[in-house]
Structure 1
Amino acid sequence: MLTSPLRVAHLVDTLHPDGGEYGLVALAGAARTAGLELVVVGISGAGDGRRAAALRAAGATVVEHGLAPWDPRAVPRVLDTLREHGVALIHTHSPNADVAGSAAATRLRLPVFSTLHRIEDEPADRLDRLRRTAKTMARARFVTRTIAVSRLQVDWYRRVAGSARGLVVLPDGVADPEPVDRERARAVLGLGAADVLVVSAAPMRRGKGQDLLLDAVAALPPDLPATVVLTGDGPLRPWLEARVAREAELSGRVVVRPLADPPALLQAADVQVHVTRTDVMPSAVVRGLAAGIPVVTSRVGGLPEIVTRETGRQVPLTAQAVAEALTELASDATLRARLGTAARTRFEERFEAGGWAARLRALYDSTLG
């Protein structure tokens, strides 16, 4: 039985939509059931209000300081915020937040948790290597517990830090999606019940695999009843739209339709495809599990920790392999249903936001105790 609520300050660089989201909206929505109260602090920049509004609607207290990156005023500003809200511990999610949060925690004698959301495996030059070493040393000295969202990060962290002591693996969670009108969402795309809707919700950026996906779509059997929708957005969107328009194999099958809420279309989809060239723990793939649909992913990074043989297909980074997996799933409704049921079960057991919040609370309590 939970005792009094635990107030936790989550520090991020920015609440701008282009910054990392870190699952905090989902965590805020599930926090009360785990006895947590969230104070989300954006140190740098300023968002457009959407993310702050979503956090507040989910029950979090939001503070934005709007400072420049690495502004020396960040530490005193964060100190004032922590004192004002009487937090019991600090949880950081980005390099700038790691520095400001650790410095403030030292002054207030509060424990610091820090989540690793990326892998910095290839420093560009000597200066980058020195920065990575400095951050690793600071983490070892000032951070109480470091959280990896993927087992993949454990091996990386051991290489750069020399030890994985104090590191715990705890994947981020995703909120259970709101139901959508499936028939209406598909009708907007001109799809009927017999058509197979394949959705890619990855951002349209370099390395996210849309070029490989289009190569695979061009290799699909012409009579396969599959429509592929790219719902993400990003700097590669004009190039993707131009390629789809000029290639006959793509223009009749691929729709480029960036949406304000890309995961919503997953509720109306039959298959998700996410063939990025590197990824640690993408929430878009977890949302595919939540939608109860099979997921085709590349066999890279932390993706094999999300999608198993029972919930989808892991494929090498070749157009032929992606095309074969999509053809298999688009041709077999019974297989899709079986994999989709297993995907939903895996989401509920491992990635649902309520369970994530409860596991975080247990981790916090074990340290405070």
Structure 2
Amino acid sequence: MKIGHLVESLDPHGVAAALVDLSAAGRAAGIDLVVVALAPSGHPGIAAALERSGATSVELNVAPWDPRAIPKVVEVLRSAGVELVHSHGPRPDVVASAAAARLRIPAISTLHRVHDQPADRADRLRRTAKTLARKRFMTRTIATSVLQRDWYHRVAGSTEGLSVIPDGAADPGVATPEEIARFRQGLGVGSDDVVAVSVAPMRRGQGQDMLLDAVAELPEDEPVTVVLGGDGPLRPWLESRVSGDDALSGRVVFRRRADPVELLRGADVQLHTTRHDTMPRPLILGQGTGTPAVATRVGGIPEIVTRDTGALTAVSSSRIADELARMVRDPDLRRRRGAAARRRFLERFEAGVWAAQLGEVYRSALRYSDAPAPAELDTPEPAAPAGSV
């Protein structure tokens, strides 16, 4: 099947990075990808990775809501022989549905957010209108979590045409003892120190401020080093806070340009203390490396992290500190949870599993475009309570 994926851009922090993994695993599921980006990202790495994985990638240069986007996408999809278009995001959804109608091919959309924030009547009406338009113009809709499915049901009134398929990732593998030793040596940590890593993007809502509050609450003799990887608009502020606090500067280090997977492979614990998230890719990758997690109980995170694979906490620095301290003090607990995380990744989130599930939905849409969606292919555990998004 030649499947066109329409995204906003080939941003390495967006959905395009996951499509690299899907493309590499897709051949075994009978899927060839054509990835079309509406806007240039300025990051050539994802385009190169897509090409290496066997996908075709095209970056257009159309301004937001430019009507020329539709004919340009139609031209790309037609010339590539695309049989079905799969969109990701608000603008790609609109363009994909129009392009699919012109080409008379099915259109599928993945939900990547839950719009449960407080809203006035006009906002609620707009959200409902968008959801009803999705039902009208999309052949199928994919939710990445039960949380999204339940939200969709509340807004749309039914889940007809919707399947729940969690995003997947290529197997990052488990680090060897030699690799872990080199990683720890590079950090300058002692053999008894526990290394806790966060690779969430440094932007508003991701909770690094709360994470630093939690680290500040730990006893002074707790043998833990916290590594903050990644980048984002809040990085200068976070670095300034750490450098101005003796307790934090002795415990927290930054690795801006480090590969997130390498950080997770070398970590004893993963920290993901966001205030809202739907299906965070860093947590999926962390499970693949066999790293137990301490994460906040928000959004779709409880569908990734279970009590067997890590600890879920309230959005509270004190609770995060308590769970981190528990993990630091109990190496057997870390080993058990790490092994369970690795098993869960291979069963539920590995890219081959993801590709096979998407392949079934694609075939259903291509063969039976008027038929109801197949039964949910993999039902995650119950979502977080309402109001935790």
2: CA distance, partners of 1:18 / 1:64:
16
Structure 2 match to 1:3: none
TM superposition shift of 1:340: 0.3
Mapping 1:235-274, distance limit 5 Å: 235-274=233-272
Q: Which of 173, 184, 187 is residue 185 of structure 2 equivalent to?
A: 187
TM superposition shift of 1:127: 5.5
TM superposition shift of 1:194: 2.3
CA deviation map 1:239-268 (0-9, x unaligned): 111111111221111112212522321000
Structure 2 match to 1:306: 304
Q: Is the 8 A contact 1:199 1:272 kept in 2?
A: yes
Structure 1 match to 2:117: 122
2: CA distance, partners of 1:21 / 1:120:
22
Secondary structure at the counterpart of residue 202 of structure 1: coil
Q: Which of 286, 289, 292 is residue 290 of structure 2 equivalent to?
A: 292
1: CA distance, partners of 2:97 / 2:247:
54
TM superposition shift of 1:126: 5.7
Q: Is the 8 A contact 1:45 1:69 kept in 2?
A: no
Structure with bigger RCO (C-alpha 8 Å, 6+ apart): 2
Q: Which of 139, 142, 145 is residue 140 of structure 2 equivalent to?
A: 145
Q: Is the 8 A contact 2:198 2:228 kept in 1?
A: yes
TM superposition shift of 1:17: 3.4
When structure 1 is superposed on structure 2, of 317-326 and 273-282 the one drifting more is 317-326
- Identity %, equivalent residues: 57
1: CA distance, partners of 2:173 / 2:348:
19
In the alignment, is residue 15 of structure 1 matched against residue 31 of structure 2?
no
1: CA distance, partners of 2:239 / 2:210:
14
2: CA distance, partners of 1:179 / 1:343:
11
Structure 1 match to 2:382: none
1: CA distance, partners of 2:73 / 2:301:
35
TM superposition score normalised by structure 2:
0.90
Structure 2 match to 1:366: 364
CA deviation map 1:98-129 (0-9, x unaligned): 11111111112111110001112237556544
When structure 1 is superposed on structure 2, of 326-335 and 260-269 the one drifting more is 260-269
Mapping 1:11-90, distance limit 5 Å: 11-17=6-12, 19-21=14-16, 23-90=18-85
2: CA distance, partners of 1:95 / 1:211:
29
Q: Is the 8 A contact 2:270 2:286 kept in 1?
A: yes
2: CA distance, partners of 1:123 / 1:54:
39
TM superposition shift of 1:132: 2.4
1: CA distance, partners of 2:15 / 2:354:
18
Structure 2 match to 1:204: 202
1: CA distance, partners of 2:360 / 2:158:
24
TM superposition score normalised by structure 1:
0.94
Structure 1 match to 2:218: 220
2: CA distance, partners of 1:259 / 1:127:
42
Distance 1:359 1:113, change over 3 A: same
In the alignment, is residue 98 of structure 1 matched against residue 93 of structure 2?
yes
CA RMSD of aligned residues (A): 1.6
Structure 1 match to 2:314: 316
TM superposition shift of 1:19: 4.5
Q: Which of 341, 353, 356 is residue 354 of structure 2 equivalent to?
A: 356
TM superposition shift of 1:184: 1.5
Secondary structure at the counterpart of residue 147 of structure 1: strand
TM superposition shift of 1:209: 1.0
Structure 1 match to 2:160: 165
Distance 1:293 1:17, change over 3 A: closer
Q: Is the 8 A contact 1:17 1:47 kept in 2?
A: no
CA deviation map 1:219-253 (0-9, x unaligned): 11221111001102111111111111111221111
Aligned residue pair count: 364
Structure 1 match to 2:104: 109
| Runs (5+) with no aligned partner, structure 1 | 1-5
Q: Is the 8 A contact 1:272 1:296 kept in 2?
A: yes
